[in-house]
Amino acid sequence: MLEELQRRHYSQATTQRYIRFVERFAQHFHSAPDRLGRQHIREYQAQLFTVQKLSPGTVTNHLCALRFFYIQTLKKPWSIADTPYPKKRHRLPTILSQQEVAQLIDAAPTAFYRTVLMTLYATGVRNAELTRLKISDVDSQRMVLHVQGGKGRQDRDVMLSPVLLEELRAHWRRLRKRSSVWLFPGNRWHSGEQPMDTKTPRHACQHAARRAGIKKKVYPHVLRHCFATHLLEAGADLHTIQILLGHHDLKETAIYLHLSQRHLHATASPLDVLVLKGRSQPER
């Protein structure tokens, strides 16, 4: 299975997750996975829902891993009718106003966290993409930031804000020991030769939100949503935002139409045009 995932250029994170899910499936029945069939998969799917109380999205991820294993590794048929994917609940993501984003960044407990938050918001990169940014990815001549090996192993360029460029330069001067490769080095003093892990941006968001008194749940992907929504409100078109985010389908980007105040307020409610008797008068 590992060789097949690597041959098809699945990311390391997805590869490890798929292997882990298949291992859990086998452990549940105390049997090798190639000896288990459709009835076992249906029983396991029900157990994920009723016993483990997993969300529809997480159950779907387990089924995707098993489907890959049975079709690509064992070369066995797989019927969606036998093991239908659960329907996902479509929830609108949390969005911070521009004022709240400013409060979040200003409340960062350390200069390193402040730079991390500014980079997330200024570029819209994913958490994992942020941790893998290299020094060579900062192109101050063209004022772009190169995002290499993003979701789906796709490369893309995003804008490099002059404000962010100055912040990154200040960040680089502050480092005790500068990495030869990574823009955001790991370890406690940010001086390692490995990149920081994905927990660091999450901690930056949590600590800053708590200090800023923001009650909304803030994590790195929220700043990605804010990046897209605020761009849309400023007049950027959906296709441009799609390219900047690295979305394959415009439908993924269209969700921000539901979040943009400019688009929500552009259409009046039909209630506003009704002529009502005894309409309440505004208070003086």
Nearest to 164 by CA among 117, 96, 211, 215: 117
- Separation of first and last alpha carbons in the chain: 72
Q: Quick one: the chain helix, strand, coil %, rounded to 5?
A: 55, 5, 40
Q: Is 88 tagged catalytic?
A: no
Q: In what order do the strands lie in the sheet with 156-159?
A: 138-139, 144-147, 156-159
Q: Pick the catalytic residue from 114, 126, 171, 190.
A: 126
Residue that is written with structure tokens 């938050």 in the block: 117
Q: Which helix (H) or strand (E) is 159 found in, with range?
A: strand 156-159
Q: Is 225 tagged catalytic?
A: no
Q: Pick the catalytic residue from 114, 224, 225, 230.
A: 224
Q: Is 35 tagged catalytic?
A: no
Q: Pick the catalytic residue from 151, 176, 219, 251.
A: 151
Q: Is 114 tagged catalytic?
A: no
Q: Is 40 tagged catalytic?
A: no
The dihedral built from the CA positions of residue 78, 79, 80 and 83, taken in this order, carries a sign that is negative
Distance, CA of 221 to CA of 225 (rounded, Å): 6
Q: Is 10 tagged catalytic?
A: no
- Tell me the catalytic residues: 126, 151, 221, 224, 247, 256
